[in-house]
């Protein structure tokens, strides 16, 4: 499951790089890519302190579909 990238960065790159990483990882491992979380805000963590990053992460994402509590998930991020 790719962590959602802010839309500005997707526009700048022309693609969602974490989404591509997640697809490649799922192919290699025989899994599937599912959108289970969505971004709630556009906070940017580059240059932020560890404490600020933790606070931002707690407020940055929300579930957008049912989460299977019996399944295992791999979060894919570019950091």
Residue spans per domain, the chain: 7-63
- Report pLDDT for 36: 87
Averaged pLDDT, 4-23: 87
Phi, psi of 31 (to 5 degrees): -100, -165
pTM: 0.65
- Report pLDDT for 8: 84
Q: Which two tokens stand for residue 9?
A: 């960065």
* H or E stretch covering 20: helix 17-29
- Report pLDDT for 26: 92
pLDDT digits (tens, 9 = 90+) for 20-72: 999 999 999 998 998 888 888 777 777 788 898 888 878 888 888 888 889 88
- Report pLDDT for 58: 82
């Amino acid at each position: 499951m790719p962590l959602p990238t802010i839309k500005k960065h997707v526009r700048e790159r022309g693609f969602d790089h974490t989404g591509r990483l997640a697809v490649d990882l799922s192919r290699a491992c025989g899994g599937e890519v599912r959108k289970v979380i969505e971004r709630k805000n556009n906070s940017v963590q580059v240059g932020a302190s560890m404490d600020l990053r933790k606070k931002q992460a707690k407020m940055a994402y929300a579930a957008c579909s049912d989460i299977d509590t019996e399944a295992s998930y791999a979060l894919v991020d570019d950091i």
